[in-house]
Structures are given as C-alpha cells and as structure tokens.
Chain A
C-alpha cells in the first residue's frame, strides 16, 4: 500500500464515520488509466511526471494501473524505463526509488493499431487481465493524448468496446476540433458512446493554481465583487505571451495558428473566469453554466477590433532567433498567425461597453500570462495636476505565470515636502505566502478526472461557443492578406496591436 488512506472513495467518505477529518480525502476509486499516445511528448513531459507527483503525495488509489498505449512496439520494461527517465527529467519532486517502484510496478504497455482488425480486441483483453490482476474493478480512465486526426478513430474504437463493469471516463486533450463543425462532429461521435458526465475535455490552464485563484479572488473577497463591473472598471487586458517559437510543432501549428492554439481555449477561459457572474456554488455545472453565459454574451468583434501578426527574425534572451517562416516545417510563404489581439465586448449588464483586450502570441518579449483589471480614475482628485503626473489609474494585476500572484497598483504620497503622488504596487506572491511549490496543472486535472469532478474541464456547449467566436473571426480573415511577417521576434507584437489600444485612448500595460 502507498498510503494510509489510499483506496478511500467519495462514497465511503459518506458512509464511514472514521474518514471524517482525515488528510487524504480525495483518493479515487481503484482504476486503470490508459494513455493513448503514450509515446508522445505530453506523456513524457506532463502526464507521467504528474502521476509520479500524485504517487509521492499518496493521492493515487492503492489498486491502480497505468497502461501506455501507442503504435510503437515496446515491452513493459522498455516503457517503464522511458517513463522513469521522464520522471527524473521532468518531475518536480526529487526522485524517490520507493515511489517509483510502486508506480513502475503499476505500469504496463500495450502496442495498439486500431487499423489492424486482427488486433482490435487486444487492448480490451489486456485491460480485463489487469482488472483481474490489480483489482481495478473495470474502472477506466482513457486519456486521449493523440493527434487530432487520430482522435475520432480512438473514440470510436474505445467506445465500441467499453466494458459493462465499472465506470468510464474519457479525457480528451486539446484541440477539440478545428472549427465549430468539426467540434460538433467530434461531440456527436463521443456522445454515441459516452455521456457528457463521462467526458473530460482538458484545458490545462484551468488546472493552474493561479487561474483557480481568480475564482477565489473574485468570489471569496467581499471587496472586489462590488467594483467588478462597468461602473468601476475601465477595461481589462489579458495577455498570454510566450517567448518560444513553434518548437517542433510546425505541422500542427501551421493549421492551427495562434487563434486555435491559444485563443480558442486558454485565452477564452481566462476571459470567462474574469467576466463570469458568481456561480451559486462550486459544482461543475454551476461554474460551467456561468462560463457559457459569458461566452454567449461576447459580441463578434468587428474586423478592425482584431489584429493578427506573424513574427519575423529577432532576438530573444540576447540570441538571434529565426522568423516563423524560417522555422523547420513551416511554409516559407505561410500566412499562419502567431499573434493575435482582439477587443472583445461582453453584451450584458455587468460589462456593457467595457472592452476586454486579449493579446496572445509567440516569440514575444517576455513569457507571461497576466490579467489586468484597469479601474477608472478617481473622479475628482483634489490635487494639482503636476502632483499626480506619475499616478496611473488603479490596476489589479493577476499574474498567472510566472511570478504567480496578485498586485494592486495604488497611488501613494512620495515622502518629503509638498504633495507628489506616485503609483506603487502592493504585491501578493504565491511563493511568498505559501512556501510550497505549486502543483502542476496536470496533477490536479488527472486527479479530478479520476474522481469524476468536471469543474475544471470544458463542457461541450462551452467548446462550441468558443469555436463559434473563432469561426466568426477567422471568416473575416478570408477577405484580407496582411503583410507577414509584421513583428520582430522579441517585441510585443505588430504595431497594429498598440494602435488598436491607442484608438481607444488606452495603452497596453507597461512591461
């Protein structure tokens, strides 16, 4: 056994009076986690290190198995060796041989090829053997970490062979479709075999502590909600900036671009969490209902409210980096956008006429994800203009990454004779207040999926609203052909992004 309370379930918690108050309350029921796409980067970099971190914290069920499934021919031992290497390289905890021995012993590998009809029962037969061997009772978590083109086939094959015993959960990695039509088609295919309660569409941003802290900040603090509206907020800026280029993902990125890679999912999630109404409780349905309402209320942005860009050569961290069109695997005449700014308007009572500016992109000046709530200026400061030259409007900054935390920009008197007021920041840094390392998003999400908690996963209607907005933006792009590249790597994007703000008498947050 790995933990004193391992194996306790939510149901048992309700029936067993001895469980109340015990530490490890959220331990899933016995289950097998089957990772399709186990030879991929995600399994190595995220999924297995997350499983290991959960094992270190004794959060996995005692009766547990993880099965890697991919086309490659590997033995169990070869797969275990690969995963051990991945855990050593990408895990956030020091390597502990005892923990790995436990997880390694629970790890299996099966080579799958769903196009080979002679082997199509092999995976399910393998699972049944594991159920018998490890007491996992037919409970399955299928993790679909496969390329988009393979998704329908795996859904079909897994769905057609789902077992009668135990429960089933299906974790679907992004992208969930390529547009509204393909997302709907995938939803229809999935719904032929799985109920919505069994489907867990991952957007790993929702697993980040700081993203969840947005809910805590807004709904656990009485001081913010009364001013979280058009009356007090001038506008909102959401920035999700990367310094990385396409990093070997050119084949995918060429078709996706920034709008499908980041805007459709991560950025719109941040918009929804920032703008949603308070849910009546923190259940999956309540939270997701409110997010969907916000997404429905977003007006399709006019063409001049969207700026797209593509990076050219430039400098990152003092080093030359090539332009997007010079990256391996990218069409030298590519018109794929690597940057996007959009001015979004949410047509509801809370946010009418209060713009939310979203800026995302690759090869920008700095890696950061920030939500900035810019409040309106004080209506009538009783100071001479000269005394407040260095004073900016109050701003609440939620740092999603890095420097996870919250800052509030306020005006303070500069010490000395006379009155000079300057903007200073009050900082709350996660690392300063809670001296523990933040868990990786995948740890939380994997555990939640095993527990059947869908709060931090995206519902089908939410995905459809996201795609609906993306499709509308992309449709307008068919009519023009911007002069790409239009920004240098290592800058904050094309001039049009700043211009869009200037037209509204605003500017991007200083960096």
Chain B
C-alpha cells in the first residue's frame, strides 16, 4: 500500500452542512488541477464512523490503514454532547496513486465535531453528505446505545452497521438488542473468530456431538463461538470462559484445538467487513444463541 501523494484541505468552525458540501466540491476541483489528468473520485460507499472521544486515537489509527484500500467518502463523526452547540469541520481530499498509471484515486474525508445538540441529530447532518445511490456503512466505536435517537437515526440511513462487540461491557446480553431487522450487522469480534471457527469446523464430524466449549479469550468472542456451535449444531453446548485479551485456547469437551496462524490487523478486520454487503445469517443466529 502506498501513501497519499497529495492532499488538499479545508476547515472551519461553527459551520453549516452547506459549507462542507461546497468545500468538498471546491477541493475536488483543486485536487484535479494538482495532478496530471483528473483524479478519479471512486464511489463505492459512504463510510460513516461514530467516534466518541475515548475511541478517537484508536479510530484514527485504524482508518489510516483503510484510506487507500477503501477510497470512499469517509465521514467521521466526533460527538461532543457536553460542549456548546455547533459543528466544526475539516474536509480533506487525499490522492493515492493508481498502480502503473499517472492518475490518482481521490478519497474524501470529512471530519465533523458535533457539539451539543447537533450530536443528537447526526443523521440530519450526514444526510446531505452521503454519496447518492451507494451503500452506507456505519462504524460505531464503543457500545451503541440502541434505542436512543443518535444511534437509531443513523441506523435509518445505514445499510450496514459495523461494531466490535469486544468493546462492549455487557456481552453477551447486549446481543439481544442488535437491530438485525433494520440493518445488516457486522461484528469485528465475529470476524476475529473466523480462523478459530475454521479450526473447529475441521473437527467435524466429532465436533457435532460437542457438549462443552472452553475458551480463554474475550467474553464476546467466547460467547459468539458457543452461540455459533449451538445454532449450527442445533444442540445445547455449555460455555466455560476464562478471560483474556485475545482467544488463545479452545477446548471442545476434552479435545484441545490447535491455534490458527492468522492474526489480522484491526484495519484488515474492518476492511474485510467493508467488503461485505449483505446480512450474515450465520452471525445473526450465533449472536441470538450467544445468550441462550
């Protein structure tokens, strides 16, 4: 992956959404003039990210690894509900070189600080900024407060909600609140279990009689794994869980599983989720049975 060869930028405080739209148009023209031939504004999606302050550093790091892989319009929303009302904005257009070509691909990044009441009406702010006719992915850092207006409004404009349930304090109970009927849901914790699910699948047909799953790792991943076994095998499987930062050991009944070799990065995991468009019925069933 290469880095951006040039970037143009605009920022403003106490702005209106119209200012942001105009800035995007003007920067696109400026960006085109700085290179040989026009930059390609590839449109495959709008990527929204809801980033509360405690997640800001981690989010920026992950998104930095994504910029080139998914050159979409990225809209980063930093809610500051306690601050005075208003919106601060920064708009950048990053140009990444295209392999073996003179032309560049332009990625648009809109960062919005939603202060005060504006943080509770985020959908009305992002609506004019969505790329028409293309899917909207919403990456929510931390635990989405399902049922509250800021998350519900954004889900209404979203095709796919992406989150990492290992960031949640109340798994597996929280899975009961997932809005499967309103948006396709992607859980990075689920994606992280994929190599282990592969290992378990290789134990077929013996694993088909599993009664007990012992997992050392995050509770979210352990819960999803046992929910997956329950839903796929249509049988009761008990979970014994020992906490850990990542899954390091899995034992099915008395059978120990060899660890997979894949260790994808945060950017890889999010990137993989951004490549998925439809609902994942296997995940939905696993999440529903995680708390069973």
Q: Mark A6-26, 1 if CB is under 8 A from B, else 0.
A: 011000100111111111100
CA distance A58 to B99 in the complex (A): 25
Q: With A and B bound together, what is the CA distance between A435 and B229 in angstroms?
A: 34
Find residues 288-303 in chain A having any chain B CB closer than 8 Å to their own CB. Answer: none
CB of A427 within 8 A of chain B? yes
Q: Does A433 contact B (CB under 8 A)?
A: yes
A1 at the interface (CB under 8 A from B): yes
CB pair B69 A435 closer than 8 Å = yes
Q: Is A403 an interface residue (CB 8 A)?
A: yes
Q: Closest Cβ of chain A: how far from B74's Cβ, in Å?
A: 14
The answer to whether B201 touches A22, judged by C-beta atoms less than 8 angstroms apart, is yes
- With contact pairs A16-B204, A18-B201 given, residues A436 and B69 touching in the complex (Cβ less than 8 Å): yes
A393 on interface, CB distance cutoff 8 Å: no
- Is A437 interfacial (CB 8 A cutoff)? yes
> Which among B52-60, B157-165, B171-179, B189-197 touches the partner chain?
B189-197
The smallest beta-carbon distance between A406 and chain B, in angstroms, is 13
Cβ of A3 and Cβ of B262 under 8 Å apart?
A: yes
- Which residues from 89 to 109 on chain B have a C-beta closer than 8 Å to any C-beta of chain A? 96, 98-101, 103, 105
- Name the residue on B nearest A12 (C-beta): B204
A12 vs B202: C-alpha distance when bound (angstroms): 10
* Given A435-B70, A435-B71, A4 and B262 contact (CB-CB distance below 8 Å): yes
A21: contacting residue among B42, B202, B283, CB under 8 A: B283
Contact among B44, B202, B207 for A433, CB-based, below 8 A: B44
Q: Is B212 an interface position by the 8 A CB rule?
A: no
Report chain B residues within 8 Å CB of A5: 198, 201-202
| Chain B residues whose C-beta falls within 8 Å of the C-beta of A7 in the assembled complex | 202
Knowing A23-B194, A433-B44, A436-B69, say if A4 contacts B98 (CB, 8 Å). no
A403 CB, nearest partner CB in chain B, Å: 6
**Cα–Cα, bound, A433→B70 (Å):** 8
The smallest C-beta distance from B107 to any residue of chain A, in angstroms, reads 10
B202: chain A residues at CB < 8 Å are 4-5, 7-8
Q: Which of A400-441 contact B (CB under 8 A)?
A: 402-403, 427, 429, 431-433, 435-437
A330 within 8 A of partner (CB): no
A2 at interface (Cβ–Cβ under 8 A)? Answer: yes
Residue of A nearest to B228 (CB): A18
Q: Which of B194, B262, B282 sits near A20, CB closer than 8 Å?
A: B282
User: Known: A5-B198, A16-B201, A17-B233. Contact between A432 and B69, CB under 8 A?
Assistant: no
Residues in A neighbouring B44, C-beta threshold 8 A: 433
- Mark contacts of B202-240 with chain A using CB atoms, 8 A cut-off: 1 yes-contact digit, 0 otherwise: 101101000000000000000000001100110000000
- Evaluate contact between B207 and A18: CB separation under 8 angstroms: yes
Neighbour of B105 across the interface among A17, A21, A432, CB < 8 A: A432
> Whose C-beta in chain B lies nearest to the C-beta of A403?
B101
CB-CB < 8 A to A433: which residues of B? 42, 44
The reply to whether the CB of B22 lies closer than 8 angstroms to some CB of chain A is no
How far is the CB of A390 from the nearest CB of chain B, in Å? 18
B166–chain A nearest beta-carbon distance, Å: 19
Give Cα distance in the complex from A18 to B282, angstroms.
9
Interface string of B36-76 (1 = CB under 8 A from A): 00001010100000000000000000000000111100000
Q: Across the interface, name the chain A residue whose C-beta is closest to B104.
A: A432
- A1: chain B residues at CB < 8 Å are 258, 261
Q: What's the minimum C-beta distance from A243 to chain B, rounded to whole angstroms?
A: 14
Contact with B along A335-355 (1 / 0, CB 8 A): 000000000000000000000
Do A19 and B201 have beta carbons less than 8 Å apart? yes
A18 x B100 contact (CB < 8 A)? no
Residue of A nearest to B229 (CB): A18
Query: Does B128 belong to the interface (CB within 8 Å)?
Result: no
Asked if B280 is an interface residue, CB under 8 A from chain A, the answer is: yes
Residue B32 lies at the interface, judged by CB distance under 8 Å to chain A: no
A431 in contact with B233 (CB, 8 Å): no
Out of A4, A436, A437, name the residue touching B194 (CB < 8 Å): A4
| A-B contacts, CB under 8 A, total | 84
Interface residues on B, range: 35 or more
Q: How many residues of A contact B (CB 8 A)?
A: 29
A24–B272 CA distance with the chains assembled, in angstroms: 13
Name the distance in Å between B175's Cβ and chain A's nearest Cβ.
17
**A3 contacts which of B69, B196, B198, B283 (Cβ < 8 Å)?**
B198
Query: Please, how many angstroms separate the alpha-carbon atoms of A433 and B283 in the complex?
Result: 27
Q: Is there contact, CB below 8 Å, between A18 and B197? A: yes
- Bound Cα distance from A7 to B258, whole angstroms: 15
| Chain A positions within 8 Å of B71 at CB level | 432, 435
* B12 contacts chain A at the CB level, 8 A cutoff: no
Please state if A432 and B197 are interface contacts (CB–CB under 8 Å).
no
In the docked arrangement, what's the CA distance between A21 and B262, Å?
A: 17
Specify which of B105, B196, B200, B202 lies most central, judged by the most chain A CB atoms within 10 Å of its CB: B202
A25 to B229, CA, bound (A): 18
Known: A1-B258, A4-B194, A7-B202. A20 touches B98 (CB 8 A): no
From the candidates B99, B100, B103, B232, name the one contacting A17 in the complex (CB within 8 A).
B232
With A402-B100, A429-B98 known to touch, is A435 a contact of B262 (CB < 8 Å)?
Answer: no
Residues on A with C-beta less than 8 A from B98 are 429, 431-432
| Closest chain B CB from A34 CB (angstroms) | 27
| Interface: B260 (CB within 8 A) | yes
Q: With a CB–CB cut-off of 8 A, which chain B residues contact A15?
A: 204
Interface string of B99-127 (1 = CB under 8 A from A): 11101010000000000000000000000
A4 touches B195 (CB 8 A): yes
Chain A residues with CB under 8 Å of B204's CB are 12, 15-16, 18-19
Q: How far is the CA of A436 from the CA of B98 in the complex (A)?
A: 11
Q: Is B199 an interface residue (CB 8 A)?
A: yes
Q: What residues of A have a CB within 8 angstroms of the CB of B196 in the complex?
A: 4
Q: How far is the CB of A435 from chain B (nearest CB, A)?
A: 5
Instruction: Report B78 CB to chain A, min CB distance, Å.
Output: 26
Contact of A431 among B105, B198, B199, B280 (CB under 8 A): B105
Q: How far is the CB of B199 from chain A (nearest CB, A)?
A: 5
Inter-chain contact B101/A8, CB cutoff 8 Å: no
Q: Which chain A residues border B282 with CB–CB below 8 Å?
A: 20-21
Nearest neighbor of B200 in chain A, beta-carbon distance: A18
Complex Cα spacing A5 to B44, Å? 30
Contact B40 A429 (CB under 8 A): yes
In the bound complex, CA of A220 to CA of B199 (Å): 35
The residue on B at minimum CB distance from A27 is B198
Instruction: Give the residue name and chain of the A residue nearest to B191 (CB).
Output: A23
B229 neighbours in A (Cβ, 8 Å): 18
Residue of B nearest to A435 (CB): B69
- Considering only CB atoms, which chain A residue lies closest to B272 in the complex? A23
Q: Which residues of B contact A16 (CB under 8 A)?
A: 201, 204-205
Cα distance A241–B38 when bound, in Å? 26
Interface contact B199-A4, CB-CB below 8 Å: yes
28 A-B pairs within 8 Å (CB atoms) are namely A3-B261, A3-B262, A4-B195, A4-B198, A5-B201, A16-B201, A17-B232, A18-B200, A18-B201, A18-B207, A18-B229, A18-B232, A19-B201, A20-B232, A21-B282, A22-B194, A24-B198, A429-B40, A429-B42, A429-B98, A429-B103, A431-B101, A432-B98, A432-B105, A433-B44, A435-B68, A435-B71, A436-B69
Other 10 A-B pairs with CB < 8 A, given A432-B105, A435-B68, A435-B96: A3-B261, A4-B196, A18-B232, A21-B281, A21-B282, A24-B198, A403-B101, A429-B40, A429-B101, A435-B71
